[in-house]
Amino acid sequence: MKEYRVLLFYKYVAVENPDQFMNEHLAWCMQNDIKGRVFIAREGINGTVSGKVEDVERYKSHLKTYPEFHDIIFKEDEEGSHAFLKMHVRVKKEIVNSDLKATSLGNGGKRLTPEQLLEFYENKKDFVIIDARNWYESKIGRFKNAVAPQMKNFREWPKAVDQLKNLKDKTIVTYCTGGIRCEKASAYMVEQGFKDVYQLDGGIVTYTKKFPDTYWEGGVFVFDERRVVEPNSNPELKHVSNCYFCGTPTSYYINCHNLDCDKIIVSCHKCKVENDYCCSDECRKSTNKRNKYYG
């Protein structure tokens, strides 16, 4: 049994005083050896944190003492260590940068459980599954037959949806890592006239925990020091991407250590070291390089 836990959570709910929450929360986390990042806004909370099992249990109870978060849902992974180096709590305008209106939130896609998505696949239902994440996330893993718009960030979602408008009469399923982006992504599609829109409830993280080695292919990109989680054990489904340098199947990636480049490239561990965490000779010669400690 591993000693640490990584939590992922969000909730869209009116928050009265984000600044006050930020200060209290940061202090509490520092005292209780919780690390990670939490975004707080008037529209809700979005966080991922790590800590020892007992500290994380206390964290969960603590967060639930806030009336607005009493029913918040935690997704949990076991780990051998912290998944973060520090604790950050930030007040933001949105808990995921999107520039999409929050007014349509309640009218998002219908919630599709992992069980129902599995059934869609098993019954060969006529549906289109759409990845609401960024290009580099879908590069290392995605649902079988998923449409993956090549977005740099979530602000490009309206542009991506515009390119999918020929699918308005189809059954659509959107998915993202934990579900937070789909709340707005699916609501936006409904607003744009898509007739039958679902959002995967609990996201990839919940689905792959329940049904590994089924219809998820490859690794799951995560925004912490683990970088990627590999839910499948079937060698056929373990990786969908290959090392940029040697071609070996891998889901691992690096950000080129030349900070002026910072390009995300898929790389196996061996090539990462051999190439000094850089994408090219030119980047290796840069004088503006990242500290090696960071991925």
List of residues contacting Zn ion (CB under 5 A): 243, 245-246, 248, 256, 258, 261, 263, 268, 271, 279, 283
Spot the catalytic one: 176, 256, 279, 283: 176
> Using CB atoms within 10 A of its CB, is residue 162 exposed (0-12), middle (13-18) or buried (19+)?
exposed
For the bound state, the minimum distance from the C-beta of residue 1 to Zn ion, rounded and expressed in Å, comes to 33
Residues constituting the chain: 295
Q: Which amino acid is at 154?
A: F
In the structure encoding, which two tokens stand for residue 288, read together? 């503006």
Handedness of CA 278, 281, 284, 287 (dihedral sign): negative
Question: Going by DSSP bridges, is the β-strand pair 196-200/110-112 parallel, antiparallel, or unpaired?
Answer: parallel
For the bound state, the minimum distance from the C-beta of residue 232 to Zn ion, rounded and expressed in Å, comes to 20
Instruction: Name the residue nearer to Zn ion (CB basis): 119 or 262.
Output: 262
- Let me know if 278 is a catalytic residue: no
**188 CB-near residues (< 8 Å, 6+ apart):** 100, 104, 157, 158, 161
Q: How far is 34 from 55, CA to CA, in rounded Å?
A: 7
Contact 199, 112 (CB under 8 A): yes
Contact 221, 195 (CB under 8 A): no
Contact 243, 223 (CB under 8 A): no
Instruction: Name the residue nearer to Zn ion (CB basis): 142 or 239.
Output: 239
Instruction: Name the residue nearer to Zn ion (CB basis): 74 or 245.
Output: 245
Read off the DSSP letter of residue 258.
Answer: B
Contact 38, 88 (CB under 8 A): yes
Instruction: Name the residue nearer to Zn ion (CB basis): 34 or 271.
Output: 271
For the bound state, the minimum distance from the C-beta of residue 99 to Zn ion, rounded and expressed in Å, comes to 29
Residue 184 host element (H or E): helix 180-191
Handedness of CA 20, 24, 25, 26 (dihedral sign): positive
For the bound state, the minimum distance from the C-beta of residue 293 to Zn ion, rounded and expressed in Å, comes to 18
Give the gyration radius of the chain's Cα atoms: 20
Instruction: Name the residue nearer to Zn ion (CB basis): 190 or 243.
Output: 243
Instruction: Name the residue nearer to Zn ion (CB basis): 7 or 279.
Output: 279
Residues annotated catalytic, as ranges? 176
